[in-house]
Structure 1
Amino acid sequence: MSFKATLVFACLGFMPLSWAAESLQWGDFAVFSTSVLAIVPLSIILSTATEKIAVVTGPSLGGLVNAIFGNATELILALVALKAGLVDIVEASITGSILGALLLLLGLGMLTGGLRYKEQSFKPIFARVNGSFMTLAVVAIALPTLVTYTSNIVDPSAIRHISMATATVLIVLYGLTLLFSLKTHSYLYDVGLAEGEIAPDEATLASRKSALGSWIAVLLAASIGIAFESDLFVGVVESATQGLGLTPLFTGVILLPLISDVAGYVTITRLALKDEMDLAVSTVTGDSLLITLFIAPVLVFVGELWGKPIDLNFNPFEVVALAIAVTVTNLVSFGGRSNWLDGALLLATYLLLGVSFYYHPA
């Protein structure tokens, strides 16, 4: 068993600890910390199972599997928080997940890869398509906020209707991006094998297919575990973060995405260190588009269905932060080449925005 696997399974020991902390009433901070430490390995296991299933099912179906389950931890955590009525934190987590994908994930990949290789290259199509769609998405997400702050009196129901219409357009756009990348123009996204290896022989393929059922079971088990731990986490997150002096805005924008996307940091770092920047950038591209065009609309629709309406009327500073993130990412990545300084620039932008959100009074 590899060191990574050993570490992940060792961290799973925090699951019974989180249950004990809850049932034995060790305190909110104990439940908070142990549930976070349990979510991390579960997230890595879920990500690994998704990758394994995607490899076996082939490029088209595998791409769809990655699209659906690639950010399952973020979606599960957000849905549990929404069901608990933490609407402010869920809204902020949408912003945070986008910032994390564009600045933290991509910056981490460019920095770590750039420290090993003087310069790395990737297909510019990833940056162009992602940049165009993310620019449109940020404009769409900003519209409810702009309506609110440019009108003297705005009916809350009107904002909800605008948000529903925006969510509908975004999810249709996501379907079009899948059609474009997986079907009509899939050749533009051909980045080779997920692990940068030679094509497997028939025996290897047969072995992987025989393990498909096992990986599906792992995927379902990890999802259930994340849902359970998320319920524990959400039950104490407000009191625990207040005790740490954190606002709901900072908790949603910075803390939740950091917890839920640990698997992404591991994957991007591994790919960048192997000089697989095509795969690294395409993964970041897929994550950012999934969050913006799929997860955000789903949360809007589900909130309406559950009677806990969540709209896209963000804090104006969140809209500004998204615009900054998209602009800086586009400037850095449009050339199709990267180095460690590009990564440092993206990470510095994320750090500055994080500090600003920490001190923001909202």
Structure 2
Amino acid sequence: MNRIFTSLVMLGVPLTVAGSLLHWSSISMFIICSVTVIAISSFMGRATESIAIVSGPRIGGLLNATFGNAVELIISIFALKAGLIGVVLASLTGSVLGNLLLVGGLSFFLGGLKFKRQKFSIHDARHNSGLLVFAVIVAFVIPEIFSMSMNETKTLQLSVGISVIMIVLYLAGLFLKLVTHRGVYAHSEEGSVTEHEEPEWSKKKALTILVLATLAVAYVSESLVHTFEAVGEQFGWSELFIGVIIVAIVGNAAEHSSAILMAMKNKMDVAVEIAIGSTLQIAMFVAPLLVIISLFMPTAMPLVFTVPELVAMATAVLLTISVSSDGESNWFEGLTLLAAYLIMGIGFYLL
């Protein structure tokens, strides 16, 4: 499989360059760029797995989420530059749904098929639950409610204020986990693989690959963004569906593969850290950062989602909390999360 992804990268990047210069059709470029981004993301997943073996599940999970979300951030910045505000907001929605329901669901389901009962840190689960409620239900719903009685200028000012608060709180949460309370709630996974693992790459090589992969994704993503409107018209996809499903799946391919791989190795602390940690990073750091970046773009982006987006995200959060708050998972809980994702996917497709 690694050879296949390597071949796709070696072929996909030159094809992207050639397609941009020769102005190939939007459909061709969309397929080439999407496959190339996913292939590059596999290298990011392997690199972060190597770092996780050396540095532990929290650092590994955080790095995976950060570099995985870097793809999402890069795609969103190019979309903002192109004035596709709806696609950006929809892709943020899709990231929340994809990480909680698709990534979390596949991790619980496939891991649960191999291990009947999988455990992860209940303290981290409860800590993340509170932040999920704040990030999605509080910080995303409030701008929507207040914007009903505000003009566009005040709505944008409210969005910027909330964004700054969310970024500060996210950084404070990282300081709690990685500095002041590091190791306080240490968790030893029962039944996990105990033999010593050798990382595929050294720490230095893994970090180098992460940086190079991120740069490659930045280039390919710019070409990918330019295909969205034409592809949407061709297939009858709405801007909302493109953002929620297509961009989110392509942009978060690194987390998808890494979390599932960790779950199938019974490393649920890393898998949960990737799925939920990535969601928190999207909601509390990437989304607010995009609001601030948009101030320097032709069109500013307020942190105001549509009602279907808000309802879908709130439902995903509540469902995830209900199945993960006990610190255990099984294949049926994963199947429940996947069923919820499919139902929402059908709804967004038909909107």
- On whether the aligned pair clears a TM of 0.5, the verdict is yes
CA–CA separation in structure 1 for the residues paired with 2:103 and 2:8: 23
Corresponding position of 1:141: 140
Out of 215, 232, 238, which is 1:224 matched to? 215
Corresponding position of 2:157: 161
Displacement after TM superposition at 1:217 (Å): 3.1
Matched, 1:240 2:231: yes
Corresponding position of 2:74: 76
Corresponding position of 1:9: 6
Output one character per residue of 1:297-351: Cα deviation in whole Å (capped at 9) or x when no partner.
Answer: 1101111123431111110111111110111111111111111110011001111
Matched, 1:285 2:276: yes
Corresponding position of 1:102: 100
Change (3 A) 1:260 1:189: farther
AA in 2 matched with 1:164: V
Output one character per residue of 1:80-126: Cα deviation in whole Å (capped at 9) or x when no partner.
Answer: 21122211101111111011111111100010011112221222122
Displacement after TM superposition at 1:249 (Å): 0.6
Change (3 A) 1:216 1:270: closer
**Structure 2: 5+ residue stretches without partners:** none
CA–CA separation in structure 2 for the residues paired with 1:161 and 1:55: 43
What's the TM-score, normalizing by structure 1?
Answer: 0.88
Q: Is the 8 A contact 2:33 2:220 kept in 1?
A: yes
CA–CA separation in structure 1 for the residues paired with 2:45 and 2:342: 26
CA–CA separation in structure 1 for the residues paired with 2:62 and 2:329: 28
Displacement after TM superposition at 1:21 (Å): 2.7
AA in 1 matched with 2:246: L
Aligned 1:95-134 pairs, distance under 5 A? 95-134=93-132
Q: Is the 8 A contact 1:83 1:306 kept in 2?
A: yes
CA–CA separation in structure 2 for the residues paired with 1:126 and 1:34: 39
Displacement after TM superposition at 1:188 (Å): 4.5
Corresponding position of 2:266: 275
Displacement after TM superposition at 1:62 (Å): 6.1
**Structure 1: 5+ residue stretches without partners:** none
Change (3 A) 1:255 1:26: same
AA in 2 matched with 1:351: L
Corresponding position of 1:262: 253
Matched residues, number: 347
CA–CA separation in structure 1 for the residues paired with 2:343 and 2:304: 23
Corresponding position of 2:174: 178
Change (3 A) 1:327 1:161: same
Displacement after TM superposition at 1:53 (Å): 4.6
AA in 2 matched with 1:165: G
CA–CA separation in structure 1 for the residues paired with 2:104 and 2:58: 24
Displacement after TM superposition at 1:8 (Å): 1.1
Q: Is the 8 A contact 1:140 1:166 kept in 2?
A: yes
CA–CA separation in structure 1 for the residues paired with 2:32 and 2:308: 32
Change (3 A) 1:54 1:235: same
Q: Is the 8 A contact 2:64 2:255 kept in 1?
A: no
Output one character per residue of 1:210-250: Cα deviation in whole Å (capped at 9) or x when no partner.
Answer: x4443333222211211111111111111112211110111
CA–CA separation in structure 2 for the residues paired with 1:61 and 1:329: 22
Corresponding position of 1:297: 288
Q: Is the 8 A contact 2:30 2:224 kept in 1?
A: yes
CA–CA separation in structure 2 for the residues paired with 1:43 and 1:95: 20
Aligned 1:192-203 pairs, distance under 5 A? 198=195
Change (3 A) 1:172 1:67: farther
Match of 1:305, SS? Answer: coil
AA in 2 matched with 1:82: L
Aligned 1:59-70 pairs, distance under 5 A? 65-66=63-64, 68-70=66-68
Deviation larger for 284-293 or 22-31: 22-31
Aligned 1:83-94 pairs, distance under 5 A? 83-94=81-92
Change (3 A) 1:50 1:72: farther
What's the TM-score, normalizing by structure 2?
Answer: 0.91
Change (3 A) 1:18 1:184: same
Displacement after TM superposition at 1:52 (Å): 3.5
Change (3 A) 1:102 1:60: closer
Match of 2:226, SS? Answer: helix
Match of 1:220, SS? Answer: helix
Corresponding position of 1:187: 183
Matched, 1:249 2:246: no
AA in 2 matched with 1:124: I
AA in 1 matched with 2:111: G
